[in-house]
Structure 1
Amino acid sequence: MKTARTSSGSPADAPAAATATTSAAVRRVRPLRGELVHGIGPWTGAAVLVTVLIVMNAHTQSPFAWPSRRGELTELLRGAGLVIGGPLSAAAGCWHGGRERRRRTLELRRSFARGGMRQALVAAAPAALWPAVGYLLAAAVPLLATWPYSDGGLSHLALPLADALALAALGVLGFVAGRLVPWRLTAPLAAVMVFLLIATVRSGYGQDPSPLNPADVHDFAWDRPVWWFAPASAGWLGGLAAAALLLYAARRRATALVPLTVAVGCAAALVSAGPGLWRPDPGAARLVCDDGTPQVCVTAVDRALLPAVSAALADLNDRLRGLPGAPVRWVDGPRPPTSDEAQLPSPGPESARGRLKNPQQYGHWAVQYLFSETCEPSDHDPENPAWRRASDINSAVIQWLSPPGSAGADPLPETREYVDRLNAKPPAGQRDYLARYLTSDTCRADQVPVP
């Protein structure tokens, strides 16, 4: 009877080699799997997911009424995800990093056969992965819900990915802080510090965003980020987190210079670019118009709202159609309207999933824009009875053309008289008066016609 060969290349050794390889792979994966599915990690991801969705709904003032503009939605996600999720991620990472000190098992872990860097990577994985996963799931809900109604290109979609990496970096930084500072209050203090760093240094309205603050927002709807903004933003915080982890756990701490150099380079690029991180997007500002008279035109980022905007202005356009002095069309966008155009209120902030939140109120704002002529300071004389009368007539015409949709917005007594006069006129008289009012100089109180 022949026996199987036992040389290294014999077929008899193949099953044993495959079994050994499989066992080694299992031994490598099992500790990471155990770290990911146990402990505070999954709860952190769930907390970030729920908190971001709650903050998003609170900001929109009604459940699931998310903005239709993709750029505005991603900026809202940045604020909600990082101002709230950032402190959560740092605190959870800090608490997770101090686990061995609380259990008094840190020296036992250091005695394992695996290297210190490999142990640190496995231990820090939940602090980095779960906040990012929770944020991405929270971001996917409004992005998918508004996808059929949104426009503005794909350039904004890289920002949620960079924000998720920022949350992962904050989790790793918290993990390192928890390993180095053996104090139970380290986690809440880390959350407070991250919140102060992110929330209190955000730029205000009218100011340029801070390029190093991942939670800062850009409000201009017809801009797009440069292609390298998201990678540089991720490299800035990600490089800091990687450098901190290497300084803590690597045998050769000089290797931390590599991610630290990446972080400094990304930060320098962001700071030097400044406002140049955002560029005008001609495609987003392109006008999309209906075929009505006066014509209603919105920008391409709001083209899904054009039917709703046209419907909100339908009654107003019926009264303006064919009158001298009436606008030829309503326009929105970054450029100012011409002499025969009227400025349209931006429908984006007042929209949700392809519809206007309050069409009647939107029509009222449109009339206010139509009659909001800027007068010289010398023309304004509140003590002059003629000027006060002209101001009351202006309010009455706006109220008559399009009453506000908000509750408790009845006209004042001094305005009610003129509204009643206009309502009492026959249709021909109303059109005649509106034509005279449109062609008058409302900055000259003596030229404003009385109903």
Structure 2
Amino acid sequence: MTARILRIELRRTAALGIAMLMLVTGAALLLSATPSFAGRWMQLAVMARSMLMVLLPLALAGGAWMGQRDARYRVNELLASTVRPRWQRVIPTASALAISVVTAYLLIFLIAAGWVVPTSGYFPSATILVTAVGVPALIAAGWLGMAAGRAVPRVITAPILAVLGFALVGLAPELASSPAMDTDLAYFRPEPAAVLLIPTFTGLDDFQTIATSVSLLQALWLASLAATGLLLLGASRRRAIAYAVLPAVLGVTVALPLLPVGGARGAAVVDPVAIELVCDSDGPQVCVTRAHTALLPAVVGPARQALAMMAAKLPNAPVRAVETRQVSFWARLDPHAVPARHSPDTFVFDTPSFDHVGHADLSGDYFLPSLLQAAWQQECGERPIRGEVYRARMVAAAWLTGRPPTPPGWAPDEVAQMQSTYQAFVSLPEAEQRRRMAAARESALACRDDELVTILPTDQQ
């Protein structure tokens, strides 16, 4: 009988309409951000969690609309006069809403996965758990909305809950952190651990994941909140309503002391598998991180071309190319966050535009010059780099090609200045050019990037 009632609820109530609204809205928003997760499963999981900023208010408002059904059709007194307990009557409706919102959420993820599968070479197992935390979150929102709709059966209840839900989920984490200044760099004040009770995430890079303990604690808290919502929905006496809040209180009591401070930054850890190197050794060795394994075939050709150009002109030229494994400043406390510096026989490079890893164009005019500039780079941890250093790297890369620098997108006056510097540099004796380039590379490998400007002639510095 219960299964039959559930099928009727799924077909004839607003549950299906709520799911369709969530599916269309969530898929449109997620697919509009396709470049930010193309080719990367963890980035997709994080984006799906960030979509909860919109999906949770919709589930909350949809639940409120369904919770008003009995009052809307004026059958409250009729149903209250039956001998069946109230919880037996609300379980099928609550289950229909839960199935609908969860199905919509999972379909959004599966639709977006179509942009990940063709270009992904690494599947972090944590992707499943990170994504799954959204399931109890949506169920909790739906059931709490139903309880609110039953308690306050007014037309404005649903839209008010939607606005309040968005304010809580979307704005609370932003308000919890305010910009602060340190003596060396700007950062955000660490957010309190309570921010992690809200299951949205943003800001992870390709080499980070969410700690398993954080995901499990969030799931525990959200499951207890869902239990409270269901108990409130089925409660008919004041004592039952008071007892209904106990699961949420117990959940937050257990989870909150164990959650790290710092919000998403505190929950993020470096994925040691993602930063492992995958190499092609059929010739000069070229390596990329496992997170970007799919890029290796496209990177090999330009990287070996860059190695050949360096060997032709640069003293003690590198013979190996490795993708940098730099991760965000907030992961520095992790022992994997800042790998050991590479030896002089290796140059480290960045993959072009992490936002477009799945569809990166490695054959254009940008990638090869960036590889050549990497001869004067080292993994030194994240820190500000002066504009003069960037310009000096471009001049150095142009010296390897034997052509004046023409960086696309730069202002004409800046390009003219770099070309003037290049012409002044190549007018020096060839031995002096090589000496300066070797000294500049030695300084860069020691993480003294500012000394790179020594490649300029004395009268240009």
For the 8 Å contact 1:294–1:320, the answer to whether it is kept is: no
CA distance, structure 1, for counterparts of residue 202 and residue 258 of structure 2: 14
CA distance, structure 1, for counterparts of residue 15 and residue 124 of structure 2: 34
**Post-superposition shift, 1:358?**
5.9
Moved more, 438-447 or 366-375: 366-375
For the 8 Å contact 1:178–1:187, the answer to whether it is kept is: yes
**Post-superposition shift, 1:152?**
4.3
Q: 1:303 aligns with which of 293, 296, 299?
A: 293
CA distance, structure 1, for counterparts of residue 270 and residue 113 of structure 2: 23
CA distance, structure 1, for counterparts of residue 40 and residue 247 of structure 2: 35
What do the CA deviations read for 1:142-200 (whole angstroms, capped 9, x no partner)?
A: 33552352414312211212112211211111111111112211111111111111112
What is the match of residue 4 of structure 1? Answer: none
**Post-superposition shift, 1:66?**
3.8
Letter in 2 for 1:298: V
Percent of pairs identical after alignment? 27
Distance 1:195 1:404, change over 3 A: farther
What do the CA deviations read for 1:199-229 (whole angstroms, capped 9, x no partner)?
A: 1233678676742220023614334444444
What is the match of residue 56 of structure 2? Answer: 86
1:19-418 to structure 2, matched below 5 A, reads: 27-60=1-34, 66-79=37-50, 81-143=51-113, 145-147=115-117, 149-202=120-173, 210-217=195-202, 219-250=204-235, 253=240, 256=244, 259-260=247-248, 262-268=250-256, 270-271=258-259, 277-291=267-281, 295-321=285-311, 323-331=314-322, 332-333=324-325, 334=337, 335-340=339-344, 341-346=346-351, 349-353=354-358, 355-357=359-361, 359-360=363-364, 361-371=366-376, 394-398=393-397, 412-417=415-420
What is the match of residue 385 of structure 1? Answer: none
What is the match of residue 438 of structure 2? Answer: 439
Which secondary structure does the structure 2 equivalent of 1:183 belong to? coil
Moved more, 404-413 or 317-326: 404-413
CA distance, structure 1, for counterparts of residue 114 and residue 189 of structure 2: 31
CA distance, structure 2, for counterparts of residue 399 and residue 329 of structure 1: 20
CA distance, structure 1, for counterparts of residue 153 and residue 431 of structure 2: 81
Distance 1:363 1:258, change over 3 A: farther
For the 8 Å contact 1:367–1:401, the answer to whether it is kept is: yes
What do the CA deviations read for 1:51-82 (whole angstroms, capped 9, x no partner)?
A: 22221222235xxx742222222111211x20
- TM-score, length-scaled by structure 2: 0.74
Distance 1:100 1:305, change over 3 A: same
For the 8 Å contact 2:121–2:290, the answer to whether it is kept is: no
CA distance, structure 1, for counterparts of residue 48 and residue 377 of structure 2: 34
What is the match of residue 11 of structure 1? Answer: none
Which secondary structure does the structure 2 equivalent of 1:215 belong to? coil
Letter in 2 for 1:183: R
**Post-superposition shift, 1:391?**
7.9
**Post-superposition shift, 1:349?**
2.1
**Post-superposition shift, 1:394?**
4.7
For the 8 Å contact 1:239–1:259, the answer to whether it is kept is: yes
For the 8 Å contact 2:392–2:455, the answer to whether it is kept is: no
Distance 1:181 1:398, change over 3 A: farther
CA distance, structure 1, for counterparts of residue 284 and residue 61 of structure 2: 56
CA distance, structure 1, for counterparts of residue 245 and residue 363 of structure 2: 57
CA distance, structure 2, for counterparts of residue 48 and residue 309 of structure 1: 39
Q: Over aligned residues, Cα RMSD in angstroms? A: 4.0
For the 8 Å contact 1:68–1:352, the answer to whether it is kept is: yes
Which secondary structure does the structure 1 equivalent of 2:13 belong to? coil
Which secondary structure does the structure 1 equivalent of 2:163 belong to? helix
Q: Which runs of 5+ in 1 are unaligned?
A: 1-26, 383-387
Which secondary structure does the structure 2 equivalent of 1:330 belong to? strand
For the 8 Å contact 2:5–2:92, the answer to whether it is kept is: yes
**Post-superposition shift, 1:35?**
1.2
Distance 1:394 1:96, change over 3 A: same
Letter in 2 for 1:300: R
**Post-superposition shift, 1:399?**
5.9
CA distance, structure 2, for counterparts of residue 145 and residue 256 of structure 1: 43
What is the match of residue 13 of structure 1? Answer: none
User: Which has the higher Rg, Structure 1 or Structure 2?
Assistant: 1
Distance 1:288 1:245, change over 3 A: same
**Post-superposition shift, 1:397?**
4.0
CA distance, structure 1, for counterparts of residue 407 and residue 59 of structure 2: 42
For the 8 Å contact 2:348–2:375, the answer to whether it is kept is: yes
Distance 1:345 1:409, change over 3 A: farther
What is the match of residue 5 of structure 1? Answer: none
For the 8 Å contact 2:392–2:453, the answer to whether it is kept is: no
For the 8 Å contact 2:298–2:362, the answer to whether it is kept is: no
